[in-house]
């Protein structure tokens, strides 16, 4: 009687079958564990220590966190600046991106060229070079003031040296990088079936009513996605503030972004433990915002399925 062949060992066979897959994944896995997960966990440990990069970390318990929340006026200042930046740059950037996406979605000729041109700032925007350029444009004797003087005879202030304007200059730099959300909005707009608009026009809805009753509700999944991504990006913003303020967060801490403060604590003052604690507080803040976004989504995001 023929015997039925039994699998030698279920688990062993599964592992053997998966080995080639893990082999191909190994560069990414090594990167994940050594360059991302390892440092992340190390920073969690360091946040409970005093560490100046030279001596061995010294365990201080929750002292770093206590200081953050009870005895650090700069933390409060950085939070104010960062929250102002997030609350201004994200809605304005999204609104601007959506507006342009809607304009591009009207079936204009040469769409791909315009799309590429509008996307360019996003490719360049986060770079050091553009931040340097931005500094030149918004300086007291910069391009913007030259144009203002030529066009209106108005001598503008130094937009980056004046604490009243410096942050808003950085907000405008952020809005200028609207390309990525614009492309995603454009893809989202193209997903809305044309017959939805035809049905709405038969129902007597004009362009504005179509936008508020059809386009925006049907675009909410994309608005939600862009909102979450851009909020996280805004909380993490660093390069523009670092370059424009020349690494000081000035004038008068007006561009002291949270990440810049974190960087100064870690790499300028060599308080790595404290910087790690600041980083983990930022993680919790971002996680809170993201969780809040997801919880609120069921009240305003319309998924088709």
Residues in touch with another protein (CB under 8 A): 193, 195-196, 198-205, 209, 213-214, 217-218, 220, 302, 304-305
Closest listed residue to residue 118, CA positions, set 174, 183, 189 = 183
Is the Cβ of residue 133 or residue 218 nearer to another protein in the bound state? Answer: 218
Say how far apart CA 18 and CA 6 lie, in whole Å.
Answer: 20
Burial call 150-183: b when 16+ CB within 10 Å, e when fewer: eeeeeebebbbbbeebbbbbbbbbbbbbbbbbbb
Is the Cβ of residue 220 or residue 293 nearer to another protein in the bound state? Answer: 220
CB of 201 to another protein, least distance (A): 5
Q: Which residue has the tokens 């062949």?
A: 5
Is the Cβ of residue 96 or residue 197 nearer to another protein in the bound state? Answer: 197
Burial of 283 (0-12, 13-18, 19+ CB in 10 A): middle
CB of 219 to another protein, least distance (A): 10
Is the Cβ of residue 208 or residue 284 nearer to another protein in the bound state? Answer: 208
Is the Cβ of residue 105 or residue 220 nearer to another protein in the bound state? Answer: 220
Closest listed residue to residue 85, CA positions, set 241, 276, 292, 274 = 241
Closest listed residue to residue 75, CA positions, set 257, 251, 250 = 257
CA 150 to the chain's CA centroid: 36
Query: Of all helices (H) and strands (E), which one includes residue 49?
Result: strand 49-50
CB of 225 to another protein, least distance (A): 16
Is the Cβ of residue 190 or residue 213 nearer to another protein in the bound state? Answer: 213
Q: Which residue has the tokens 């801490």?
A: 253
CB of 228 to another protein, least distance (A): 20
Is the Cβ of residue 141 or residue 304 nearer to another protein in the bound state? Answer: 304
CB of 223 to another protein, least distance (A): 13
**SS3 call for 164:** coil
CB of 215 to another protein, least distance (A): 11
**Whether residue 101 has a cis bond before it, omega within 30° of 0:** no
């Amino acid at each position: 009687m023929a015997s039925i062949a039994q699998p030698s060992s279920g688990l062993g066979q599964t592992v053997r079958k998966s080995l080639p897959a893990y082999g191909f994944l190994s560069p990414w896995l090594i990167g994940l564990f050594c360059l991302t997960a390892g440092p992340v966990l190390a920073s969690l440990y360091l946040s409970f220590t005093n560490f100046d990069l030279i001596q061995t970390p010294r365990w201080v318990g929750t002292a770093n966190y206590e200081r953050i929340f009870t005895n650090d006026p700069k933390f409060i200042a950085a939070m104010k600046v960062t929250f102002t930046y997030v609350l201004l740059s994200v809605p304005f950037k999204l609104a601007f991106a959506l507006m342009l996406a809607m304009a591009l979605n009207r079936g204009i000729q040469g769409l791909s060229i315009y799309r590429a041109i509008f996307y360019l700032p996003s490719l360049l925007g986060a770079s050091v070079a553009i931040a340097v350029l931005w500094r030149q444009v918004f300086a007291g004797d910069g391009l913007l003031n030259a144009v203002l003087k030529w066009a209106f005879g108005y001598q503008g202030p130094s937009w980056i040296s004046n604490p009243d304007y410096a942050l808003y200059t950085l907000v405008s730099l952020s809005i200028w990088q609207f390309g990525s959300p614009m492309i995603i909005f454009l893809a989202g707009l193209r997903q809305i079936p044309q017959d939805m608009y035809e049905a709405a026009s038969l129902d007597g809805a004009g362009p504005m009513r179509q936008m508020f009753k059809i386009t925006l509700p049907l675009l909410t999944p994309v608005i939600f996605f862009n909102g979450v991504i851009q909020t996280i990006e805004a909380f993490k913003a660093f390069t523009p503030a670092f370059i424009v303020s020349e690494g000081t967060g000035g004038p008068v801490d007006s561009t002291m972004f949270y990440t810049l403060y974190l960087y100064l604590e870690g790499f300028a003052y060599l308080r790595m433990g404290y910087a790690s604690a600041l980083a983990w507080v930022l993680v919790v803040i971002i996680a809170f915002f993201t969780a809040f976004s997801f919880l609120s989504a069921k009240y305003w995001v319309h998924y088709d399925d």
